[in-house]
Chains A and B, each alone.
Chain A
Amino acid sequence: MSMSSNPVRQGLSLGAKHLVYALVAFVFVLPLWWAIVSSLRPNAEVFADIFPFTAKALLPSPASLEAYTGVFERGFGMIIANTLIVALITMAAGLVVNGAAGFAFAMFDFKGKKYILTAIIISFMLPFEAIALPLYTVTQQLGWLDNIAALIVPSIANGLAVFLFYQFFSQVPKDYAEAARLDGVSWINILLRIYVPLSMPTCISAALLLFIFQWEAFLWPLLAMPSQQFKVIQVGMAAFQQQYQTIWNQLFAVAVITALIPIALLLPLQRYYVQGLAGAGIKG
């Protein structure tokens, strides 16, 4: 930005810039980095080199994968599979349900639309935690306690996802739909052939949103699955923490696995995720 013509000053300010960014990035990366390093150490070595602190504390030596094999021997693979099932079904169903609602709000005018839309937006401003305890009673009435449906069905309809689709479909020029209608194309085909292909970026950000929501769910699975036969990852991790308090390297391995799966999804798709949510903030 600076128009300064002095190359030395420019170099200095660039250096200072990198220093500031590196420090901030360090704070964000350090916990995960330390977790990765510690998960690769034998359990007795996890706290080595910390008192007094040396840079060796941040390097995985000696390294082994013993913690990871240990974690899977304790059945963590099953927990990952459970969570993937829950998250992927929610994602697929959520795209259809919320996409359809967003399309209806964007394309048609009908009585009470403004109120319904406002209600939907408020519903997503109110976090899941607010209704988790009473939702337990609803689930009990439906007979869904300890049933995987209790984890999936209440999370499919998502106000933020509806809003993302509504916002995107509103921006598509109406000429497309009008021309297709004149040619006698049905609304369903307009949605599937024109609007769905156009909305791929929104689909990606909504899919990530739904996936991460389920991947991170904690309080609700804790309440809805009281017998803990079917564990999802956050609850499994918390239980692991209580059960194996001092098997540090395995605790870290569990944490690393739990973090790396959504990060592996987010990093290549971050552009869509950031643009999708950033847009929601402006409109909201």
Chain B
Amino acid sequence: MVGDAPPVDRMTNSRTPVLLIAALLAPALIGLVVFRLYPIALAAGDSFFNVLRGQRVFVGFDNYIALLTDSIFWNSLWVTLWFNLLINPIQIALALGLALLYVQQFKGVTFYRILFLIPIGVSLPTAVIIWRIMLSQDGLVNGVLGIAGVPAQPWLTAQSLALYSIIAIATWKGISYWMIFIIGGLQNISPEIYDAAKVDGVKPWQQLFYITIPLLRPTLLFVLVADVSINFLLFAPIFMLTQGGPADSTNVLMYEAYKSGFIFGDMGRAMAIIVVVVAILLVIVGLQFRLLSGKGAR
């Protein structure tokens, strides 16, 4: 993807100001190395240690081996995967739909466009607080559903509903943001293609599935990768709403790692979980990048 960087011009070759380049790059690179790369190396290192009575003890792969037979970990892994299998396709499909609405031109569309952007300004913790009260037993959602005769539901306290309520909240908060990237992709499609399709009598749904989505592929894959990365590590709603419950039904790996390290003081296990999470994430992202650089990518 960096491949389509502009051709670097000739003039810089002869007398490249090395010191200047170094000075310009140093702050950003030092920041990224110290606060992004080094912590990952540190996590990998710390996952081979345990702290026993204040002493740091090297335990090899013990933390990882312990995870293998740890039913809480396996449940947590399953919850994380199931959560992501649902939320990512839902968010991307809705973001695409929203982007298609956003780019239409008609009188008054600007007003709607502004309203579509509102969740971007609402942080996830804010959304969580508002939705928690809206989803409470005597809250607004149950009130509105009550008009249709639906009995009040325990959205956040029932084992069968809590995970899906979190998906709904995160989706409400997230899709406006992903919409923006898709808008960029849509604006990049030349209008002549649509004109030609119209002349050929292509129906709107055919246009969507055979023209728009294939041409959006690079953008959609970018959004997919970024969205999966965020949802795989989602933390705030679980921390604020359910603390992993009820009955561990929302206990995603990120929360399990936090609990391990900061509630039970077992940093070795926490780091091992983080390493596993990041490793799984990298495999998923790697697979997606292979799709990204496959046919259809520019």
List residues of A whose CB falls within 8 A of some B CB. 1, 14, 17-18, 20-22, 24-25, 27-32, 34-35, 38, 47, 50-53, 57, 96-98, 100-101, 103-110, 114, 116-121, 123, 125-127, 129-131, 133-135, 137-138, 153-154, 156-157, 159, 162, 170-171, 174, 178, 181, 187-188, 212, 215-216, 218-219, 222-223, 234, 237-238, 241, 248, 251-252, 254-255, 258-260, 262-263, 265-267, 270, 273-274, 277-284
Give CA–CA (A268, B177) in the complex, Å: 17
Contact call A277/B184, Cβ cutoff below 8 A:
yes
Taking a contact as CB atoms closer than 8 A, the residue among A47, A107, A222 that contacts B138 in the complex is A47
A21 contacts B109, CB within 8 Å? yes
| In the bound complex, CA of A108 to CA of B24 (Å) | 11
Supposing A170-B6, A282-B219 touch, asked if A108 and B106 sit within 8 A by C-beta, the answer is no
Within 8 Å CB of B236, what residues of A? 218-219, 234, 238
Residues of the A chain whose Cβ atoms lie less than 8 Å from the Cβ of B271: 133-134
Query: Which B residues between 134 and 153 are near A, CB-CB below 8 angstroms?
Result: 134, 138-140, 142-144, 146-147
Q: Which of B97-126 contact A (CB under 8 A)?
A: 98, 101, 104, 106, 108-109, 112, 114-126
Cross-chain contact of B32 among A108, A119, A135, A251 (Cβ < 8 A)? A119
Residue-wise interface mask of B (211-247) relative to A, using a CB-CB cutoff of 8 A (1 in contact, 0 not)? 0000000110011011001100111100110000000
Listed A/B pairs (17) with beta-carbon separation below 8 Å: A28-B176, A31-B130, A50-B139, A97-B27, A108-B8, A110-B18, A127-B233, A133-B261, A133-B271, A134-B43, A218-B124, A234-B126, A238-B239, A259-B122, A263-B122, A278-B184, A281-B219
Check B32–A120 contact: CB distance below 8 A. Answer: yes
* A259 contacts B35, C-beta separation under 8 Å: no
Give 7 A-B pairs besides A156-B27, A174-B9, A223-B262 with Cβ atoms closer than 8 angstroms: A31-B131, A47-B139, A50-B138, A51-B146, A101-B25, A114-B2, A255-B130
- Contact of B183 with A by CB under 8 A: yes
Given A174-B11, A263-B122, A281-B219; A24-B31 close (CB under 8 Å): no
CA distance A216 to B230 in the complex (A): 14
CB-based contact B35/A266 at 8 Å: no
Give every chain A residue within 8 A of B287 (Cβ-Cβ): none
A134 contact set on B, CB distance < 8 A: 39-40, 42-43, 46, 271, 274
Would you call B155 an interface residue if the criterion is a C-beta within 8 Å of the partner chain's C-beta atoms? Answer: no
In contact, B127 and A130 (Cβ under 8 angstroms): no
How far does the alpha carbon of A139 sit from the alpha carbon of B200 in the complex, in Å? 62
Is there an interface contact between B42 and A258, defined as CB atoms closer than 8 Å? Answer: no
Docked-complex contact A131 and B138, CB < 8 angstroms: no
The B248-298 residues at the A interface (CB cut-off 8 A) are 254, 257-258, 261-262, 267, 270-271, 274, 277-278, 281, 285
B binding-site residues for A, Cβ under 8 Å: 1-2, 4-6, 8-9, 11-13, 16-18, 20-21, 23-25, 27-32, 34-40, 42-43, 46, 98, 101, 104, 106, 108-109, 112, 114-127, 129-134, 138-140, 142-144, 146-147, 172, 176, 180-185, 187-188, 218-219, 222-223, 225-226, 229-230, 233-236, 239-240, 254, 257-258, 261-262, 267, 270-271, 274, 277-278, 281, 285
Contact A28 B118 (CB under 8 A): yes
Name the distance in Å between B57's Cβ and chain A's nearest Cβ. Answer: 16
> A130 touching B233 by the CB < 8 A rule?
yes
**Of B6, B36, B117, B129, which one neighbours A126 at CB under 8 angstroms?**
B36
* Contacting residues, chain A, for B182 (C-beta < 8 A): 281
- Knowing A50-B140, A238-B240, A282-B218 are in contact, say whether A117-B5 is a contact too (CB < 8 A): yes
The answer to whether A34 and B101 touch across the interface, beta carbons within 8 angstroms, is no
Q: Find chain B residues with CB under 8 A from A32 CB.
A: 118, 122, 130
Given contacts A259-B123, A282-B188, A282-B218, contact A100 B181 (CB under 8 A): no
Bound Cα distance from A178 to B154, whole angstroms: 66
**B130 and A120 form a contact (CB under 8 A):** no
Residues of B with C-beta under 8 A to A131: 35-36, 39-40, 43
A284 touches B120 (CB 8 A): no
Contact (A133, B11) CB under 8 Å given A47-B138, A157-B35, A278-B180? no
The residue among B28, B134, B225, B257 with the most chain A CB atoms within 10 A of its own CB is B28
Pairwise interchain contact A104-B24, C-beta atoms closer than 8 A: yes
Query: Would you give the shortest CB distance from B105 to chain A, in whole angstroms?
Result: 8
| In contact, B4 and A258 (Cβ under 8 angstroms) | no
- Cβ B223 vs Cβ A281 within 8 A: yes
**Bound Cα distance from A216 to B5, whole angstroms:** 32
User: What residues of A have a CB within 8 angstroms of the CB of B257 in the complex?
Assistant: 133
- Specify which of A18, A28, A101, A218 is in contact with B115 (CB 8 Å cutoff): A28
A109 touches B12 (CB 8 A): yes
- The answer to whether B172 touches A31, judged by C-beta atoms less than 8 angstroms apart, is yes
Alpha-carbon distance A50/B137, docked complex (angstroms): 11
Contact A278 B8 (CB under 8 A): no
Measured CB to CB, the closest approach of chain B to A87, in angstroms, equals 12
Report Cα–Cα, A125/B282, bound state, in Å. 10
* Contact, CB under 8 Å: B146 / A255: no
